[in-house]
Each structure stands twice: as structure tokens, then as C-alpha cells.
Structure 1
Amino acid sequence: MDTGAQQDEPLPDVVAPDLDVLFCGINPSLMSAERGHHFARPGNRFWPALHLAGLTPRRLRPGEDRELLRYGLGVTNLVDRPTRTAAELAPEELRAGAAALADLVARHRPRIVAVLGITAWRLATGRPRGDWGRQEESIAGARTWVLPNPSGLNAHHQLPDLARLYAGLRG
């Protein structure tokens, strides 16, 4: 199985051909890069949200991120550079990341790309009024959704909200 691992990436993509959903975070946290696993910060709600949304049969731990492939799911980031907060990223990095994401999607053909963070989506695409949910445009033929960032730093959405919104990907 292709995990997309590359030596120069601080946090390898978890990707394979023809996934149901490819989740796209903004960029790795310092802890995720150090541990080598996506969404590794203890306060991150990605793993419980996936389970509560019915996308995984049990709550996975960050160290099991490659198990996502068994469920037709994958994960990547718009920007490879780890930071303490996503606010440290320059708009140019996000735009370059959007182009790289389109290349990744064209190669692996997931059915849906779910970008986790509306501000990053708006900056990456140059759409200052982008909104939540399914987007009109696709990324390299994949349906595109914008969902809330599961970071514990994002207090705008609580875990039940995340699970409800992420469950929309199942339809």
C-alpha cells in the first residue's frame, strides 16, 4: 500500500489510490512532526470526530494514522512546514500548498477532499467569502468540502459539531 511517504516531508501523507475521503489539514503541529503522526496533539479532536461521525468503527489514536487507509480514508496537509499555530503560515505557502494538493489529488483520485479549516481554504483559493460544507468547485475532479479545523485551539466548534459536520461526508 502506498502511504505517499517521502524523505523530505516532516510528516508523510497517508494516501492511496481511490480513497473515499482525503482529509487535508492546514499544516502539521510541532508535536505531530516530532512524533511522525497526523493530529498528534492531545487536544486535537480529529480522531474522536471521525469515530463519532461514523467514519471509523472505533476511535483511532494518532499512532494509528495509517489505519485510515483500511477505511477508505487518508490525510495530508496543505503545507508541509510544521508550526505552533497555522497563523504562522504565509498566504503564499497556502496557495502553493493548494497547487500541490491538486497534483496529489490528480495522482490518487479520491472521491472527496475535505479541507479542515475555512481560513486556510479562503487564503489558499483566493475566495475570501468561502463557506462551510460542499464547495461548487472540485479539486482535480474530486468533490470538495470545507470543514472546521479539529484543533483544540479552534474553540468555535465543539466535538459534537465536528462529528455532525464530518458525518456529512458519508452521503
Structure 2
Amino acid sequence: MTPQELEAARDRLVPDVVAGGLRVLFCGINPGLMSAATGHHFARPGNRFWPVLHASGFTPRLLRPAEERELLDYGLGITNVVARASARADELSDEEFREGGRILTEKVELLRPRWLAVVGVTAYRIAFGDRHAKIGPQERTVGATRVWALPNPSGLNAHWPLPKMAEEFGRLRAAADETR
């Protein structure tokens, strides 16, 4: 993909992968330019979402971004806090995050997943006005939906190596399995 093709994807939307009654609805911060250009979530090669999903036991094999619709077979889905694509999350305003949190709440109330998993605790803090939130299960619920803040799987998030991240995703998987 050329830099021009990536730049042309700025502000594009990537369709949600959702259904009613999911076990877990994963929620990214916003689509990156590679995701917007390909039309698939977590498409940048350095992003660890797909490897972590497999390593934590959510999927029986490593899925490629183009296979994202298979997540529905496992009771999983993907959406974003902010719908528009950007090169970096720091291009988004706090107001966009807050509005995204409002829209996300409406989406969760409609779809009623068992768990909402926001991948990016900083995005969660801003979107839901909870500046003290930490990685893990949250006190907040959206209707009957429990909420879990996960580490951002971006390759830039060096604080969370893949095995440690897979362990945290695995904690959520165990909780989601428990609430069946």
C-alpha cells in the first residue's frame, strides 16, 4: 500500500462486525489508515490484536484481518470508540471520544453483548469519563453488559509484550466463558 493510498483512507469508516447477544464486543480506539484502506479492523501488520486473540484462546487459529467476520462464529465482534480513521489516535479530540462513548453506549444497549472490551484504557477513560480506570474489569456496566478495559494491541505499546497482553485477554476470555 502506498503512502498516497493510506492518506486517501483518512476519515473513512470501517464497518462494524457485530450481531446481537455476542459473548464479547471488542472496541478499538478508532481505525488506523491501513484498516480504513483495506476495510478490515486491526489491519496494520504490526498490530497484535489478531495474534493476541488467538494466543488468549478466543480463536482456535490465528485469523487474518480479512477473516474478521469469522469472529461472529465465536460470539465475538468488533467496533470502535471513534468511527473515523486517522493515522494516530492522538489526532482525535476528547470531544470525539466522549461522543464516541455515547454512541458506543447506544450500540451496546441495542446489541446487548455479555462483555464490552475496550482495547485502550486511555480511550476508555476519556469516552466514559472515568479517569482512574485501570486495565481489567470495570465497575461500570451498560445495561446488563459488563465492561473490561484491555491494553492497546498496537505494536507501539511496548509496556505490554505479547505474552503479558495475551494473559490479560485470557482473563477476559475466562470471565466471558464463566458468564455463559
Q: What CA distance in whole angstroms lies between the structure 2 residues aligned with 1:104 and 1:9? A: 19
- Are 2:99 and 1:89 aligned? no
Question: What are the ranges of 5 or more consecutive residues in structure 2 without an aligned counterpart?
Answer: 1-10, 176-180
- Equivalent pairs counted in the alignment come to 164
- Are 2:148 and 1:108 aligned? no
Identical-pair percentage = 57
Q: 2:135 aligns with which of 116, 132, 136?
A: 132
| Bigger Rg, structure 1 or 2 | 2
Question: What are the ranges of 5 or more consecutive residues in structure 1 without an aligned counterpart?
Answer: 1-7
Indicate if the aligned counterparts of 2:12 and 2:85 stay in contact, CA closer than 8 A: no
- 1:155 aligned partner: 158
What SS does structure 1 have at the residue aligned with 2:158? coil
In the TM superposition, 1:49-68 aligns within 5 A as 49-68=52-71
Structure 1 residue 140 displacement after superposition: 3.1
Q: What CA distance in whole angstroms lies between the structure 1 residues aligned with 2:55 and 2:165? A: 9
The structure carrying a bigger helix percent of its residues is 2
Structure 1 residue 139 displacement after superposition: 2.0
Q: What CA distance in whole angstroms lies between the structure 1 residues aligned with 2:108 and 2:19? A: 10
Indicate if the aligned counterparts of 2:12 and 2:36 stay in contact, CA closer than 8 A: no
CA RMSD of aligned residues (A): 1.2
Structure 1 residue 125 displacement after superposition: 1.6
Q: Note the alpha carbon deviations across 1:90-125, whole angstroms, 9 max, x for none.
A: 000000001111111111110000000011111112
What SS does structure 1 have at the residue aligned with 2:139? coil
- 1:74 aligned partner: 77
Q: What CA distance in whole angstroms lies between the structure 1 residues aligned with 2:84 and 2:158? A: 23
Q: How does the TM-score come out when normalised to structure 1?
A: 0.93
Q: CA distance change for structure 1 residues 9 and 108 in 2, over 3 Å: closer, same or farther?
A: farther
Q: Note the alpha carbon deviations across 1:35-85, whole angstroms, 9 max, x for none.
A: 000000000000000001000000000110111001000000000111111
Runs of 4+ more than 2 Å apart: none
Q: Note the alpha carbon deviations across 1:133-156, whole angstroms, 9 max, x for none.
A: 000011232000000010112111
Q: What CA distance in whole angstroms lies between the structure 2 residues aligned with 1:165 and 1:139? A: 21
